[in-house]
Amino acid sequence: MTEPSTRRAVVIGAGFAGLAAATTLAQAGWRVTILEKNDGPGGRARVFRAQGFTFDMGPSWYWMPDVFDKYFARFGKKVSDYYDLIRLDPSYQVIFKGPEAVDIPASMAGLRALFERYEPGSAARLDEFLRQAAYKYEVGINRLVYAPSRSLLEFAEPKLLLDMLRMDVLQSMHKHVRRFFKDSRLLELVEFPILFLGATSENTPALYSLMNYADLALGTWYPRGGMHKIVEGMVSLAEELGVEIKYSQEVTEIVVEHGRSTGVRTAAGFWPAAAVVAGADYHHIEQQVLQPEHRHYSPAYWDSRTMAPSSLLFYLGVNKKLDKLRHHNLFFDEDFARHAHEIYEQPQWPTRPLFYASVPSKTDSSVAPEGQENLFLLIPVAPDLTDDEATRERYYNMLMDRLEKHCGHSIRDAVVFKRSYAHRDFVADYHSFKGNAYGLANTLRQTAILKPTLKSKKLNNLYFTGQLTVPGPGVPPSLISGQVVAGEVLKEL
């Protein structure tokens, strides 16, 4: 092993995974440079400001607070050193068919009462459902997701194998939740996180009820100032440890000599490295930046992958307050199963979409001018669809019709800022494979060692991190992915 002063790493991409990998390597004595294609950090969690509004561009749900606590603690820090957290109560609002608007309480007592109101006897079943989900969360989030998943031997420990069997990895989420609940509203409530994991509940392992524990038991939080405050905190920590971040530096070549990368090239020149960690889109780096002889997957392999959804997003500034909306609002006032089918089984633009509305100005006055609202709308849609302005506008009006009906007043005439974002933007900004927003679907055939590997099979010092490799999509998994890949670099180089 070389001396710390000569170990130099280049990390491609300043998203959650890239920042986590760089900071972990820097703590171990490596000299680390992050090269970021865009003009600021965060990847899909970038921020932009317009007309007094501050818009988080991507993630807006803060779940699994313990993952963030654990991350900052490994560097002797606390979350509160970088941003202030608020627990939301209600956690969010769901608008069911009818329409029927329901606040999801933060307290367990309130949650049990809500379940009991919809389905007598379900409060006790909720207790058991969450007890099992808590076990899955403890084993899954605190053990399995920190495994690099490069060999079956990682899971050969007898106790771990027994734990995995008890975690319902071979049972579908669809079957599992129906052992506990019958009411259609409760089923939609517990199945909604699956909508973003990349498959129908029939094709998603019941292991992922751990997401319900994260949601219903650990709660929904908000970093004051917006989700980008997490990114700002991670950047600050990285720079404290000596990480150098260079923006507007798109990597166009990974230079290879004798089976190793010697560094990367951008328009600014050559950046030498003893290790390269790709936190940018895995498919783009592996299929378009690497030369063909250094690629370890075929185009057919990538085309056969099941992708998590893309999204059609609208960032809106509204010059008046909006009634009957909470910070987070899930519009399940259309057919839940049909929308899932139109994302995963027969990919097409949805006929009557479910959608999500976030109004962070309900919690945080800093993200909008006084008396106005910051409104973020999201429709989960299939990846790899034709994305044009006419389609975006049609869905904008569809959503506005339903929002105005729910709020009981006009909104369109109060919109003073509007920006849309979908497939072609994900491709342009992130080289996103098929314009996806979330990464690979968490199906049984794309779990752990069945995901694209975090270590190149052709180059012995090229690694991958982020939502297209282990452990999977989402902010906490990406944060973990960066730490896991850094651990592999430190073990091997």
Mean pLDDT in residue range 267-280: 98
Confidence of residue 4 (pLDDT cuts 50, 70, 90): very low
Q: Is residue 364 predicted with pLDDT exceeding 50? A: yes
Query: For residue 493, how many C-alpha atoms fall within 13 Å in the half-sphere facing its CB?
Result: 28
Rounded to whole angstroms, the Cα distance separating 86 from 222 reads 5
CA-atom Rg of the chain in angstroms: 22
Q: In 3D, which of 336, 355, 59 has the Cα closest to residue 177? A: 336
- Neighbouring residues of 244: CB distance < 8 A, sequence distance ≥ 6: 32, 33, 34
DSSP class per residue in 237-279: HHHHTT-EEESS----EEEEETTEEEEEEETTEEEE-SEEEE-
Interhelix angle 108-118/184-191, rounded to 10 degrees, is: 140
Residue type, 484: V
The per-residue pLDDT for 161 is 66
Rounded to whole angstroms, the Cα distance separating 216 from 106 reads 7
The per-residue pLDDT for 1 is 35
Confidence of residue 203 (pLDDT cuts 50, 70, 90): confident
Q: Which residue has the tokens 């049909």?
A: 338
Residue type, 238: A
C-alpha pair distances (Å), 265 with each of 245, 257, 259, 272, 285 = 15, 14, 17, 9, 13
The per-residue pLDDT for 442 is 86
User: Percentage of the chain with pLDDT > 70?
Assistant: 97
Rounded to whole angstroms, the Cα distance separating 466 from 445 reads 18
The per-residue pLDDT for 3 is 43
- Neighbouring residues of 294: CB distance < 8 A, sequence distance ≥ 6: 254, 256, 456, 458, 459
Rounded to whole angstroms, the Cα distance separating 181 from 24 reads 43
Domains of the chain are 4-43+63-80+225-304+444-492 (3.50.50.60), 108-217 (no CATH)
- Give the bridge partners for 49, in sequence order: 54
Mean pLDDT in residue range 339-355: 93
Q: Say what the pTM is.
A: 0.96
Q: Is residue 255 predicted with pLDDT exceeding 80? A: yes
Q: Which helix (H) or strand (E) holds 445?
A: none
Mean pLDDT in residue range 277-303: 98
Rounded to whole angstroms, the Cα distance separating 372 from 368 reads 6
Chain segment 48-103, per-residue pLDDT in tens: 999 999 999 999 999 999 999 999 999 999 999 999 999 999 999 999 999 999 99
Mean pLDDT in residue range 260-288: 98
Chain segment 379-414, per-residue pLDDT in tens: 999 999 999 999 999 999 999 999 999 999 999 999
Least confident of 19-23, 141-145, 175-179: 141-145
CA 130 from chain centre, in angstroms, equals: 22
The per-residue pLDDT for 2 is 38
C-alpha pair distances (Å), 432 with each of 280, 377, 423, 437, 466 = 9, 20, 8, 7, 12
The per-residue pLDDT for 347 is 94
The per-residue pLDDT for 157 is 75
Q: Is residue 160 predicted with pLDDT exceeding 70? A: no
